[in-house]
Amino acid sequence: MEQSTKASLQSFRSNLSAAKLALPSVLIANNEGDLSLMDFPTSRHEAWKYTRLSRLAKIQLESTIAAPIDWEDFNMVKDAYTFVFQNTTCIYISNDLPDGLSIKIGDEIATTDWLSSINESHVAKLNVAHAQNGCLINIAKGIQVDKPIQIIYITDGPKQPNFWRNQLNIEVGAKANIHIGYFSKDAIDSYSNVHWSVFLKENSHLIMTKIQNDGEANFHFSTENISQLKDSNFTLNTVTLNGAFVRNDVLVHVEGENCETHLNGAYIMKENQHVDNHTTVDHIFPNCNSYELYKGVMDDKSTAVFNGKVFVRPNAQKINAFQSNANVLLSDDATINSKPELEIYADDVKCSHGSTTGQLDLEAVFYLRSRGISETEARSMVVAAFMTDVLSKVASNDLKSYIYQQLAARFNLHLQGED
Amino acid sequence: MITIKNLHASIEGKPILKGLNLTVNAGEVHAIMGPNGAGKSTLASILAGREEYEITAGEIDFDGEDLLDLSVEERAREGLFLAFQYPVEIPGVSNVNFLRTAINEIREHKGEKAMSAKEFMALVRDKSALVELDSKLASRSVNEGFSGGEKKRNEIFQMAMLNPKLAILDETDSGLDIDALRIVANGVNQLKTDQNATIIITHYQRLLDYIIPDFVHVLYDGRIVKTAGKELALELEEKGYDWIKENKVN
Ligand SMILES: Nc1ncnc2c1ncn2[C@@H]1O[C@H](COP(=O)(O)OP(=O)(O)OP(=O)(O)O)[C@@H](O)[C@H]1O
Ligand SMILES: [Mg+2]
């Protein structure tokens, strides 16, 4: 058993190209050595207990050249500074970037540009080993970017491996809103592995919204490694709409006082889909607030995992940390494994966490039907209502209407925008 | 309008309705009174189409249709309305938005064209004024954070919006203050025509001072055991139900 999985990580990597990005030596130094000792984690690994990789391990990835596409088919919002990757090629770059916003792509990024954010998981190490392309975004000191930045990643073709590595630097007092979309086209048994290192300097402000809308047979791994300095405000919205298998690892290091951290997640799943959200908020400094709200609706045989950790270090007094995960199971065959964890080593803190899982509120459905609304519509109204608060956290109205359109098309869910 | 014959119903194997008969014609107001647990809400729930109940015998004819054959929403579209004893809160679903969906689904069912936004807003203004429901409440999430009385008023507001043929009001008067009682009663009276009918389930004859019933029925142990004119309500208020229980002929 053990042996075969170990062999499978090596065989999984056999066709993958080495990294094309010029990464700093601290990142690559031990990476190969570490990887050679690793295998795909099994359910005995706490962080992978409910997320099996055995099906992935059997896939032989093979990078192929994709035919040109019209990226507009994947456009989420009209008015944005947009960058588009089709597999590992950057196929579109907005040419009207404002002063203070700079974006470097692929080999424009120098070794010294990269932060050395090291993650220990096999996912992050594979990313270091095989990163093919990505972007480095810099928002200069005091700049408020007037429009959202939109980065679109399209996995095109079967068994396609895509390793993207990105970095986002928000300088002192800067402010930005970034939309990231993950999509696929004809992606049967394809694999995408994306890594973001995000650095918020003092008094900066960032809203990062990820839309995961991959095809129904794509494996997607997304890792965000965030550092927040004093007085910064960070929001991450993770909206998972599609994908056979989605794993999110979010790690926020709060490394200064008076920071605010918001993690919001919405996952709407059906058929045999699997989504796993692992988040960690590490409070190292005092006087900070973190808020986490993840909500999911699961139909058919879909499965979801939520594991949210909050650490409050010994000197991090006066921390308010709230965490909540709520789920609605629409079918008897859907499952959720939810585990909120608090580890508190300071005494003057306010923390709460909770997890709920329930069925659809049938009383509410009956009430709506008794007014003449069809059962399908009534159910969809109640599901939509459940998701409303978390989706309303998506700050951009354009992106919100995009999400609502997707929900209507895929799940027959009709959410109302605020008037 | 509706004829209920020999209705027997049980829940979880426990018989609740035990041969209930009731006929309501267009233009009539019927009051149903009876002690706690007699089966009044059960009757209302069965008429509305709640699926937990097992109908073991009997039939219900609603304007020529077999009511028991219709789904919950089909009954509503055919003109049946239940004002719930305990209206549910549905956070995130706006009161007016869901009513608009309901009205348009009802219209579609009747082969009529959808109501325009303008027409709809005018109707909301008109009907919320009728039951003196604050327009802010009308546009909030269904019953969320409403007081007990506001929930009941919202039920009558919905009834006014949907304009049903047969309305069943299950203890709509309980939890209402004197002014609200008058307002709700006034709303019901204004909606009354010779084409529609109302069944009022209540414990207090007070409401019947405002809405004059043509018939008062006593529902006891799953059956209608006595029917008379409006004076019966007064008599019940005075004497309670014991004399009826004692006189009950099997
Ligand atoms: N889900 C249920 N399971 C078991 N028994 C039930 C259920 N629902 C109702 N009953 C029983 O059915 C009987 C009739 O209840 P119902 O609510 O119809 O009474 P009611 O006449 O409306 O009373 P009240 O005046 O208190 O509103 C009661 O004995 C009640 O306990
Ligand atoms: Mg009752």
Q: Which segments of B110-177 does DSSP mark as H helices, in order?
A: 117-130, 135-139, 148-162
Residues 374-413 of A with CB under 8 A from B: 374-375, 377-378, 381-382, 384-386, 388-389
Task: Reduce the DSSP state of residue A41 to 3 states and report it.
Answer: coil
pLDDT digits (tens, 9 = 90+) for A17-47: 999 999 999 999 999 999 999 999 988 898 9
Q: Which two tokens stand for residue B84?
A: 């719930």
User: Which pLDDT does position A295 carry in this prediction?
Assistant: 97
User: Which pLDDT does position A419 carry in this prediction?
Assistant: 36
Over 80: is that where the pLDDT of B246 sits?
Answer: no
Which amino acid appears at position A100 of this protein? G
Asked if residue B43 lies in contact with residue B16, where contact means CB atoms within 8 angstroms, the answer is no
- Tell me the pairing of strands A303-312 and A218-228: unpaired
Compute, in angstroms, the gap from residue B40 CA to the centroid of ligand 1. 8
B38 alpha carbon, closest ligand: 1
Which residues in chain B touch residue A297, judged by CB atoms under 8 angstroms apart? none
Specify the residue for token string 């994709």: A66
Q: Which two tokens stand for residue A70?
A: 């019209």
Contact B72 A369 (CB under 8 A): yes
Handedness of CA B91, B97, B103, B105 (dihedral sign): negative
**Ligand 1: residues whose CB is within 6 Å?**
B 11-12, 14, 16, 34, 36-42
Which amino acid appears at position B246 of this protein? E
What is the pLDDT averaged over residues B142-161?
Answer: 92
Compute, in angstroms, the gap from residue B192 CA to the centroid of ligand 2. 24
Over 90: is that where the pLDDT of A87 sits?
Answer: yes
Over 90: is that where the pLDDT of B177 sits?
Answer: no
CA-based end-to-end distance of chain B:
28
Rounded distance between C-alpha atoms, residue A40 and residue A5, angstroms:
6
Rounded distance between C-alpha atoms, residue A137 and residue A204, angstroms:
14
Asked if residue A236 lies in contact with residue A208, where contact means CB atoms within 8 angstroms, the answer is yes
User: Which pLDDT does position B248 carry in this prediction?
Assistant: 58
Query: Would you place residue B139 in the very low, low, confident or very high pLDDT band (cuts 50, 70, 90)?
Result: confident
Rounded distance between C-alpha atoms, residue B88 and residue B143, angstroms:
7
DSSP A16: P
Over 80: is that where the pLDDT of A90 sits?
Answer: yes
Which residues in chain A touch residue B82, judged by CB atoms under 8 angstroms apart? 370
Ligand 1, residue B42: give the atom nearest the CA: 18
A362, A367, A382, A392: best to mutate for the B interface, most B CBs within 10 A = A367
- Tell me the pairing of strands B14-24 and A101-105: unpaired
A297, A373, A393: best to mutate for the B interface, most B CBs within 10 A = A373
pLDDT digits (tens, 9 = 90+) for A267-289: 999 999 999 999 999 999 999 99
Which amino acid appears at position A101 of this protein? L
Distance of CA A339 to the CA centre of its chain: 18
Which amino acid appears at position A298 of this protein? M
- In this complex, the residue of A367, A372, A416 whose CB is nearest that of residue B97 is A416
Q: Which two tokens stand for residue B118?
A: 């303008």
User: Which pLDDT does position B136 carry in this prediction?
Assistant: 81
Asked if residue B2 lies in contact with residue B55, where contact means CB atoms within 8 angstroms, the answer is no
Rounded distance between C-alpha atoms, residue B26 and residue B44, angstroms:
18
A372: nearest CA partner in chain B:
B73
Asked if residue A258 lies in contact with residue A285, where contact means CB atoms within 8 angstroms, the answer is no
Looking at chain B, the whole-number percentage of residues with pLDDT higher than 70 is 98
The DSSP element (H or E) to which A321 belongs, if any, is strand A319-329
Specify the residue for token string 């494994």: A337
User: Nearest C-alpha of chain B: how many angstroms from A418?
Assistant: 11
Rounded distance between C-alpha atoms, residue A261 and residue A384, angstroms:
26
Which neighbouring-strand residues pair with A181? A152, A211
Query: Would you place residue A119 in the very low, low, confident or very high pLDDT band (cuts 50, 70, 90)?
Result: confident
Rounded distance between C-alpha atoms, residue A196 and residue A173, angstroms:
21
User: Which pLDDT does position A416 carry in this prediction?
Assistant: 65
Q: Does A267 touch chain B (CB under 8 A)?
A: no
A419: nearest CA partner in chain B:
B139
Which neighbouring-strand residues pair with A298? A269, A329
CA-based end-to-end distance of chain A:
57
Handedness of CA A71, A72, A75, A77 (dihedral sign): positive
Cα distances (Å, whole numbers) of residue B86 to A364, B143, B149: 12, 10, 11
- Residue of A416 and A293 predicted with greater confidence: A293
Rounded distance between C-alpha atoms, residue A219 and residue A274, angstroms:
10
User: Which pLDDT does position A3 carry in this prediction?
Assistant: 44
pLDDT digits (tens, 9 = 90+) for A61-71: 999 999 999 99
Which residues in chain A touch residue B165, judged by CB atoms under 8 angstroms apart? none
Contact B93 A373 (CB under 8 A): no
Q: Cα Rg for chain A, rounded, in angstroms?
A: 21
Rounded distance between C-alpha atoms, residue B240 and residue B250, angstroms:
20
Phi then psi for A79, rounded to 5 degrees?
Answer: -100, 90
What is the pLDDT averaged over residues B42-49?
Answer: 96
Contact B49 A370 (CB under 8 A): yes
Contact A366 B106 (CB under 8 A): no
Compute, in angstroms, the gap from residue B170 CA to the centroid of ligand 2. 7
Non-local CB neighbours of A380 within 8 Å, separated by 6+ positions: A411, A412, A413, A414
The DSSP element (H or E) to which A27 belongs, if any, is helix A25-28
Task: Reduce the DSSP state of residue B52 to 3 states and report it.
Answer: coil
User: Which pLDDT does position A408 carry in this prediction?
Assistant: 84
Q: Which two tokens stand for residue B6?
A: 């020999």
User: Nearest C-alpha of chain A: how many angstroms from B174?
Assistant: 19
User: Which pLDDT does position A417 carry in this prediction?
Assistant: 54
pLDDT digits (tens, 9 = 90+) for A329-373: 999 999 999 999 999 999 999 999 999 999 999 999 999 999 999
DSSP string, B165-209: SEEEEESTTTT--HHHHHHHHHHHHHH--SS-EEEEE-S-THHHH
Rounded distance between C-alpha atoms, residue A75 and residue A399, angstroms:
10
Compute, in angstroms, the gap from residue A54 CA to the centroid of ligand 2. 56
- Tell me the pairing of strands B2-11 and B14-24: antiparallel
Contact A381 B50 (CB under 8 A): no
User: Nearest C-alpha of chain A: how many angstroms from B241?
Assistant: 32
DSSP string, A367-386: HHHTTT--HHHHHHHHHHHH
Query: Which residue has a Cα nearest atom 3 of ligand 1?
Result: B11
What is the pLDDT averaged over residues B166-187?
Answer: 90
What is the pLDDT averaged over residues A219-240?
Answer: 98
Compute, in angstroms, the gap from residue B201 CA to the centroid of ligand 1. 14
pLDDT digits (tens, 9 = 90+) for A140-186: 999 999 999 999 999 999 999 999 999 999 999 999 999 999 999 99
What is the pLDDT averaged over residues B106-131?
Answer: 93
Rounded distance between C-alpha atoms, residue A348 and residue A173, angstroms:
29
Which neighbouring-strand residues pair with A249? A223, A278
Q: Does B84 touch chain A (CB under 8 A)?
A: yes
Task: Reduce the DSSP state of residue A277 to 3 states and report it.
Answer: strand
Task: Reduce the DSSP state of residue A293 to 3 states and report it.
Answer: strand
**Residue-averaged pLDDT of chain B:** 92
Query: Which residue has a Cα nearest atom 25 of ligand 1?
Result: B36
Over 50: is that where the pLDDT of A314 sits?
Answer: yes
**Residue-averaged pLDDT of chain A:** 93
Contact A361 B93 (CB under 8 A): no
Query: Would you place residue B135 in the very low, low, confident or very high pLDDT band (cuts 50, 70, 90)?
Result: confident
Query: What is the interface pTM, i.e. ipTM, of the complex?
Result: 0.95
Rounded distance between C-alpha atoms, residue B101 and residue B142, angstroms:
13
Ligand 1, residue B219: give the atom nearest the CA: 21
Contact A373 B49 (CB under 8 A): no
What is the pLDDT averaged over residues A197-216?
Answer: 96
DSSP string, A198-216: EEE-TT-EEEEEEEEE--T
Distance of CA A217 to the CA centre of its chain: 18
Rounded distance between C-alpha atoms, residue B244 and residue B218, angstroms:
9
User: Nearest C-alpha of chain B: how many angstroms from A368?
Assistant: 8
